[in-house]
Amino acid sequence: MAADLTPASCAVVLRDEATASGLADMLHQFLAQTVASSPAKARLACRLRGALLFRATEDELLTVSIAFSAAGIEVGDAPGPDPRLPMLTADFLTTAHLTTGEERPLGLLVRRRMHARFRLGQALFLWRVLGLLRIAPDAAPARAPARARFRWALAVGLLALAVLAVALVALMTASR
Amino acid sequence: MSAIYSQAWYDDLKRLIEGSAEFAARAPKERIAMALEVVGDAGSPYVPAGQERHYLIVLDGAKVTTLDLLPARHDGRDLGFRFTAPATVWESIAAGLLDPITAGLRGTIRVRGDMRFLMKNADAVKILVDLYAAQVETDWPAGKPPY
């Protein structure tokens, strides 16, 4: 039995829902809510292909697989580590801090609060999954994008003026 | 010392939460309502199989504005989270025998709600569950876990 909490475009399903661990259940809810809340996250999730394992430090018997395919995202309990799949191991608080951006993946790895096992070819996939799991900061005030656009326009305008000035100087020098 | 599941026990818990400077510093700014569901099981001398106890806890900042025993299961309206577990699990946590985070990860406590909110407020959640587990001054009139 599987539960689908998201639109059909990028379905997030929980495998064997009745017997799923809390970790699988919560990761399923987290992913489904993330994908449902943001079209950008949904697009990213739909484009991902591959699978990874997530293991809880609190109970290393708990390993959950997250598989991304054309059919959607499937979350479910895994029997244990699989050497073919990349694996992240972290405790609840570390995982939370990772998703909120309070901690950076590299910092956690260096301080050994998170363990990652992956092959070089899986690094980009893993990085993109971590990007998907990252909770977007609370919506910025509506003025922020307009302000950013104004700054860009100002920069482009100043650059254009500078180019024009250089061209004029070059023309005047050439005409003497 | 107050008896498990008594109003006095929950009043003690409320005082513990509101007296925690650590929780006050980390408490979510938003008002959050949670249902705590105790499902009776054969192992518990307090909530036998077939019975259920439903609590509503409302936090507003670091204040516990509601901590009520409900007459029936909460209908889910305006509810942020629902935590469901067998009575023996809640009792084992209150007795300090079971780590609530591990219980949640294993699925012995079922958690339903906004997981992104849970992640954003994970430190506050950890403090809350530790406070629940740290309430060791509990009277167990019908016996203390493990049963």
Chain B residue numbers touching A59 (CB-CB < 8 A): 102, 105-106
Residues of chain A whose beta carbon is less than 8 angstroms from a beta carbon of chain B are: 20-26, 29-30, 33-34, 37, 56, 58-59, 62, 92-93, 95-97, 99-100, 135
Nearest to A32 by CA among A73, A67, A69: A73
Angle at B109 between CA B93 and CA A64, to 5 degrees: 120
Alpha carbon of B82: minimum distance to chain A alpha carbons (Å)? 12
The stretch A66-86 carries a mean pLDDT of 96
- pLDDT above 90 covers a percentage of chain A that reads 70
Judged against a pLDDT cut of 80, whether residue A128 lies above it is answered with yes
How far apart are the CA of A83 and the nearest CA of chain B, in angstroms?
Answer: 23
Closest chain B residue by Cα to residue A102 = B120
Q: Over the stretch B44-96, which tens digit does the pLDDT of each residue have?
A: 999 999 999 999 999 999 999 999 999 999 999 999 999 999 999 999 999 99
The count of other CB atoms within 10 Å of the CB of residue A64 is 24
Q: Which residues of A touch B110 (CB under 8 A)?
A: 22, 25
A50 alpha carbon, distance to own chain's centre: 14
Distance from CA of A109 to the nearest CA of B (A): 20
pLDDT number for residue B102: 95
For residues B12 and B2, the answer to whether their CB atoms sit within 8 Å is yes
Residue A171 confidence (pLDDT): 77
Question: In the structure, what pLDDT confidence band is assigned to residue A163 with cuts at 50, 70 and 90?
Answer: confident
CB atoms within 10 A of CB B58: 17
Q: Which residues contact B144 (CB under 8 A, 6 or more apart)?
A: B95, B138
% chain A with pLDDT above 70 = 84
| CB neighbour class for B25 (10 Å; exposed up to 12, middle 13-18, buried from 19) | exposed
Predicted ipTM > 0.90: yes
**Number of CB pairs < 8 Å for A and B?**
69
What pLDDT, on the 0 to 100 scale, is given for residue B85? 98
pLDDT at B91: 95
Q: Residues near A16 by Cβ (< 8 Å), separated by ≥ 6?
A: A1, A2, A76, A77
The mean per-residue pLDDT over the stretch B24-29 comes to: 95
Question: Average pLDDT of B29-47?
Answer: 97
pLDDT mean over A74-93 = 97
Contacts of B111 in chain A (CB under 8 A): 22, 25-26
End-to-end CA distance of chain A: 85
Strand B31-39 and strand B81-86: the pairing is: parallel
Residue A176, number of CB atoms within 10 A of its CB: 4
pLDDT the model gives residue A141: 43
What is the pLDDT, as a whole number, of residue A139?
44
pLDDT above 70 for B19 = yes
* A30: closest chain B residue by CA: B115
Say yes or no for a CB contact (<8 Å) between B102 and A59: yes
Evaluate whether B17 touches B125 at the Cβ level (below 8 Å): no
Q: Is the pLDDT of residue B98 over 80?
A: yes
Distance separating alpha carbons of residues B76 and A31, to the nearest angstrom: 21
A95 and B109 within 8 Å at the Cβ level: the answer is no
Q: Tell me which residue in A22, A33, A37 faces B106 most closely, judged by beta carbons.
A: A22
Other beta carbons within 10 angstroms of residue B7's beta carbon come to: 12
B74 contact A CB<8A: no
Are residues A64 and A23 in contact, defined by beta-carbon separation less than 8 angstroms?
yes
What DSSP element (H or E) covers A40? helix A39-47
Among chain A residues, the shortest Cα distance to B127 is held by A93
pLDDT in tens, A1-26: 455 555 546 899 999 999 999 999 99
Cα separation, A139 vs B88, in Å, equals 42
For residue A140, what pLDDT is reported? 42
pLDDT at A161 > cutoff 90: no
What residue of B is the nearest CA neighbor of A58? B102
Residues β-bridged to residue B54: B37, B70
Band the pLDDT of A143: cuts 50, 70, 90: very low
- Beta-carbon separation of A37 and B122 below 8 A: no
Residue B132 has pLDDT above 80, yes or no: yes
Query: Is the CB of B107 less than 8 angstroms away from the CB of A95?
Result: no
Q: Residue B10 is inside which H or E element, if any?
A: helix B7-18
- Residue with the two structure tokens 């509810």: B79
Task: Compare CB distances from B105 to A22, A96, A99 and report the shortest one's residue.
Answer: A22
The model's confidence at residue A173, banded by pLDDT at 50, 70 and 90, is: confident
Mean pLDDT, rounded, for A119-148: 78
Average pLDDT over residues A35-43: 92
- Residues 80 to 119 of B: which have CB under 8 A from any A CB? 99, 101-116, 118-119
